[in-house]
Structures are given as structure tokens and as C-alpha cells.
Amino acid sequence: MESIEDVLKIRVINTSPDCILVTSGATHGLQLIALGLLEEGSTVFLNTPSYLYSRHASQSAGIHLRGVSMDEKGMIPFEICNIRNYQNRAAIYSIPSFHNPTGIVMPSFRRNSILEM
């Protein structure tokens, strides 16, 4: 953990070994987020297509997955705002760099639009 801490400090991310959690992969990390941070019944918005639809990590924690369309620049931010009848909007899961499975790299203005939401 201390070597991870050293790498993060080089990138100006101040943390301690007590705040670092190493997982066996992205799915494991997402499952821990679903179980530890999100309330049961929450909705996670994710790109369509997404490899997460084939995973049960979120669903086993009572989290609903809701697809958001993509264009050649990635996730379309205004679609999230236009989705009706979803309560407990809790999280957005997106892969902005080299999206799996499309390979799209989301430009910074699109990333910022999503962050502003």
C-alpha cells in the first residue's frame, strides 16, 4: 500500500495506506461501491452499450442499472436529465477513456457536462 501511496503523491493525490483499497478488478470495486455507498433501490446510469449489463454485481445489491445512449463523443448528458420516473438517482458510471466496448474517448467538454450534472 505504501508504494501505491508514493505513486499517488507524485500525481498530487494525498492519501494514506489506510485509505487505499486494492480490489481484484473493476467489477469487484463496483460491487463494493454498490454495497457500501448506495442505498438499495438506487439507480446507476451507465453507457449503452456497457459490459456491466452482463454483470450482476449491482443487481445483487438491489441497484437498478439504467442505460444512457452514446454518440461518437460518448455518453449523452442531457439524456440523463430527460429520464423520468426514476427516483434515488445515485450514480453515473462511465468509462470516458477508451470506453469498453466502443473504444470512444470522451472529449473534455462532454466530461465537464456530465460532472456539472
Centre a 10 Å sphere on the Cβ of residue 31 and count the other Cβ atoms it contains: 19
Contact status, residue 46 vs residue 93, Cβ threshold 8 Å: yes
**pLDDT by residue (tens digit) across 31-64?**
888 888 888 888 888 888 887 655 566 667 788 8
Q: Chain-wide mean pLDDT for the chain?
A: 84
**Structural domain count, the chain:** 1
Domain that holds residue 19: 2-116
pTM of the model: 0.73
Residue with the larger pLDDT of the pair 26 and 96: 96
Q: In the structure, what pLDDT confidence band is assigned to residue 107 with cuts at 50, 70 and 90?
A: very high
Q: Is the pLDDT of residue 112 over 80?
A: yes
pLDDT in tens, 5-24: 889 989 888 888 898 889 88
So what's the pLDDT on residue 104?
94
Say which CATH number the domain at 92 has: 3.40.640.10
CB half-sphere exposure, 101, CA atoms < 13 A? 7
Residues 6+ away with beta carbon under 8 Å from 75: 47, 68, 69, 92, 94, 106, 110, 114
Residue 96's pLDDT is 92
Mean pLDDT along residues 76-86? 76
